[in-house]
């Protein structure tokens, strides 16, 4: 996870206008209507910016832009603005990309290597407030060669580097004349993508129009509207009324559409986990025995069954069960007997109320969760219930992210993490000690030398077997020294009107809904019949 403002529910009020829109008939205009060439989808949040220089679209699927590479439905890297996958040389220290011919920005200006160089150099500039900079740490230099080549020179061999080049490319002739942090490009972007921004009404909706000159062919979905609807129930109501063509929904609400023949539910597996951060600075959460006891006290299977209605998997660490990088020996069931034994051995003794104490410290702490997120709230309450059975008193508290952020150094948080593409992308920023307390990176300030060493090895090694061993070590160390209590990996559910062919899903990251979802490839959809 990078330095970003992670919000399961962005603080966007559900206005009275939205409530009225929920009752409007399809095509009546609340979000432009549902016509043959338009799609209106409901999502929970909107981006802070539409500039890739500040992190927008850095994992792909931005719709307005393209990267040198992209990912297909199977998450394989494929050429986008580059005409082929990169040529790798000098022992993994150079990556050379040849640009696709004939690509133009939506203002008609041609794409050139100078645009690629400008994009990466600006993101890497410390004066730019980019959430992508730490992810490009390996780049020592990027330069143009001739009129169609770009060469990246790395400071060290970085095995998954090609996956970082899905970063969208911006036009130097426009963005280069502005302050990347405050310029109008942040809300009025120009890119090479299949869509152009038509309008953005903050807190309400973004409307995208098909780019007729898109190098990949003009999309048949002519208008894509992303309606910002924070409340899950309101999204479901608007979908049911026909005001929305599709929406992301939690499992309990998605289930209400299962007998609707006019709509189809799409399930996307994900790296998105629900996790409790256990700050090392906390008097209680910083105690290894407390963390170990919590790890075996939780009933992950019950959380999947009861909270997620089966739409997910138990999380035994940051890597999902069944993933090629998953270490199978880390699976573990709830074991309250072991939890109590660990606490007994560490001197945490149960009082008359069943809650333990040690050296005058009560085994209790506060667990914060973002307000308005019922799935996280349910996880937090289940976690507290399981913890109490072991003699640990967890007080669940709801708060906004503005309240949570300054407190997360000392208080536990029901957080969400997960990045796709390569284990380095999510694990390094979540666990490496050098990033402790760096915004939302390593929120619990976890510090484990064995984990640091394994993360560094996995990042720099070119050998797949060695890399797999390194990430297995990370997962195994997290069982011995759990700086987080991993609870579940969540499947993302989307319900859409069954009017189009070509819909698929990808394995998704923690941040989803806006760029992810069945609309990740909306430019390829075809009308049914």
Extract the runs of DSSP E, i.e. beta strands, from 355-502: 356-358, 361-362, 364-370, 393-399, 412-417, 484-490, 492-497, 500-501
Closest alpha carbon to 159 in 138, 178, 134, 141: 138
Q: How far apart are CA 513 and CA 42, in angstroms?
A: 8
pLDDT at residue 514, rounded to an integer: 85
Confidence of residue 366 (pLDDT cuts 50, 70, 90): very high
**Domains identified in the chain and CATH numbers:** 8-46+202-268+493-529 (3.40.190.10), 50-181 (3.90.76.10), 273-490 (3.10.105.10)
Share of the chain above pLDDT 90, in %: 86
Q: Cβ distance 178 to 194 under 8 Å? A: no
Contacts of 16 (CB under 8 A, 6+ apart): none
Element (H, E) at 41: strand 38-43
Q: Cβ distance 149 to 97 under 8 Å? A: yes
What does DSSP say about strands 356-358 and 349-350: parallel, antiparallel, or unpaired? antiparallel
Sheet with 87-89, strands from edge to edge, namely: 87-89, 94-98, 149-154, 139-145
Q: Quote the DSSP letter at residue 390.
A: T
Residue 185: φ, ψ to 5°: -60, -25
Predicted confidence (pLDDT) per residue in 93-147, tens digit: 999 999 999 999 999 999 999 999 999 999 999 999 998 888 898 999 999 999 9
What mean pLDDT value characterizes the chain?
92
pLDDT at residue 14, rounded to an integer: 32
Q: How far apart are CA 105 and CA 245, in angstroms?
A: 29
For the cut 90, the answer to whether the pLDDT of residue 316 exceeds it is yes
Alpha helices (H) in 195-246, listed in sequence order: 232-241
Long-range contacts of 229-235 (CB under 8 A, 24+ apart): 229/14, 229/18, 229/42, 229/43, 229/44, 230/9, 230/10, 230/12, 230/13, 230/14, 230/44, 230/45, 230/372, 231/14, 231/372, 232/44, 232/374, 234/14, 234/18, 234/19, 234/22, 235/42, 235/44
Q: Quote the DSSP letter at residue 159.
A: T
Element (H, E) at 344: helix 336-345
Closest alpha carbon to 26 in 262, 299, 241, 321: 241
Range 225-233 average pLDDT: 94
Q: Cβ distance 46 to 203 under 8 Å? A: yes
Q: How far apart are CA 179 and CA 366, in angstroms?
A: 41
Is residue 18 classed as helix, strand or coil in its secondary structure? helix
Predicted confidence (pLDDT) per residue in 237-289, tens digit: 999 999 999 999 999 999 999 999 999 999 999 999 999 999 998 999 999 99
Confidence of residue 369 (pLDDT cuts 50, 70, 90): very high
pLDDT at residue 36, rounded to an integer: 67
Please state which of the ranges 25-29, 176-180, 469-473 shows the lowest mean pLDDT.
25-29
pTM for this entry: 0.87
Q: Quote the DSSP letter at residue 376.
A: H
pLDDT at residue 438, rounded to an integer: 85
pLDDT at residue 35, rounded to an integer: 62
Sheet with 364-370, strands from edge to edge, namely: 312-314, 484-490, 273-277, 412-417, 364-370, 393-399
Q: How far apart are CA 494 and CA 500, in angstroms?
A: 14
Contacts of 157 (CB under 8 A, 6+ apart): 91, 92, 93, 460, 461, 462
Share of the chain above pLDDT 70, in %: 93
Confidence of residue 25 (pLDDT cuts 50, 70, 90): very low
**Cα R_g (the chain), whole angstroms:** 24
Contacts of 386 (CB under 8 A, 6+ apart): 297, 298, 299, 334
pLDDT at residue 490, rounded to an integer: 96
For the cut 60, the answer to whether the pLDDT of residue 16 exceeds it is no
Q: How far apart are CA 237 and CA 77, in angstroms?
A: 37
For the cut 90, the answer to whether the pLDDT of residue 526 exceeds it is yes
Residue 388: φ, ψ to 5°: -65, -30
Q: Cβ distance 304 to 312 under 8 Å? A: yes
Predicted confidence (pLDDT) per residue in 410-465, tens digit: 999 999 999 998 999 999 999 999 999 888 899 999 999 999 999 999 999 989 99
Range 190-216 average pLDDT: 97
Which tokens go with 473? Answer: 């070590």
């Amino acid at each position: 996870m990078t330095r970003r403002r992670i919000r399961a529910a962005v603080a966007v009020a559900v206005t009275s206008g939205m409530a009225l829109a929920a009752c409007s008939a399809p095509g009546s205009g609340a979000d432009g209507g549902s016509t043959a060439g338009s799609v209106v989808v409901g999502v929970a949040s909107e981006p802070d910016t539409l500039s890739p220089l500040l992190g927008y679209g850095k994992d792909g699927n931005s719709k307005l832009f393209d990267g040198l590479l992209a990912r297909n439905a199977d998450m394989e890297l494929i050429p986008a603005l580059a005409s082929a996958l990169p040529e790798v040389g000098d022992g993994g220290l150079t990556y050379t990309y040849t640009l696709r011919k004939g690509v133009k920005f939506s203002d008609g200006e041609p794409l050139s290597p100078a645009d690629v160089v400008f994009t990466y150099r600006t993101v890497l500039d410390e004066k730019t407030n980019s959430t992508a900079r730490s992810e490009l740490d390996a780049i020592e230099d990027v330069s143009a060669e001739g009129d169609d080549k770009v060469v990246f020179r790395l400071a060290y061999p970085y095995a998954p580097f090609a996956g970082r080049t899905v970063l969208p490319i911006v036009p130097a002739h426009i963005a280069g004349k502005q302050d990347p942090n405050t310029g109008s490009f942040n809300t009025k972007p120009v890119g090479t993508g299949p869509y152009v921004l038509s309008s953005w009404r903050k807190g309400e909706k973004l409307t995208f129009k098909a780019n007729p000159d898109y190098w990949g062919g003009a999309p048949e979905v002519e208008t894509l509207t992303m309606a910002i609807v924070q409340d899950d129930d309101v999204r479901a109501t608007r979908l049911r009324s026909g005001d929305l063509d599709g929406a992301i929904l939690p499992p309990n609400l998605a289930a209400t559409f299962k007998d609707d023949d006019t709509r189809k539910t799409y399930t996307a597996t994900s790296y998105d986990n629900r996790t409790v951060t256990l700050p090392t600075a906390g008097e209680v959460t910083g105690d290894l025995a407390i963390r170990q006891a919590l790890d075996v006290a939780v009933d992950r299977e019950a959380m999947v069954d009861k909270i997620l209605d089966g739409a997910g998997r138990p999380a035994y660490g940051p890597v999902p069960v069944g993933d090629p990088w998953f270490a199978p020996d880390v699976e573990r069931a709830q074991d309250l007997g072991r939890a109590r034994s660990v606490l007994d051995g560490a001197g945490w003794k149960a009082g008359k109320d069943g809650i333990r104490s040690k050296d005058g410290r009560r085994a209790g702490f506060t667990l914060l969760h973002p307000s308005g997120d019922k799935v996280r709230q349910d996880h937090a309450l289940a976690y507290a219930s399981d913890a109490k059975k072991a003699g640990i008193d967890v007080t669940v508290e709801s708060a906004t992210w503005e309240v949570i952020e300054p407190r997360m150094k000392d208080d536990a948080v029901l957080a969400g993490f997960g990045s796709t593409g390569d284990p380095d992308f999510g694990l390094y920023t979540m666990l490496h000690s050098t990033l402790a307390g760096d915004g939302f990176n390593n929120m619990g300030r976890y510090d484990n030398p064995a984990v640091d060493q394994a993360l560094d090895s996995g990042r720099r090694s070119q050998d797949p077997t060695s890399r797999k061993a390194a990430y297995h070590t990370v997962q195994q160390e997290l069982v011995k020294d759990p700086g987080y209590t991993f609870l579940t990996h969540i499947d993302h559910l989307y319900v859409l009107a069954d009017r189009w062919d070509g819909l698929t899903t990808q394995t998704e990251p923690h941040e989803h809904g806006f760029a992810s979802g069945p609309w990740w490839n909306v430019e390829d959809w075809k009308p049914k019949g």
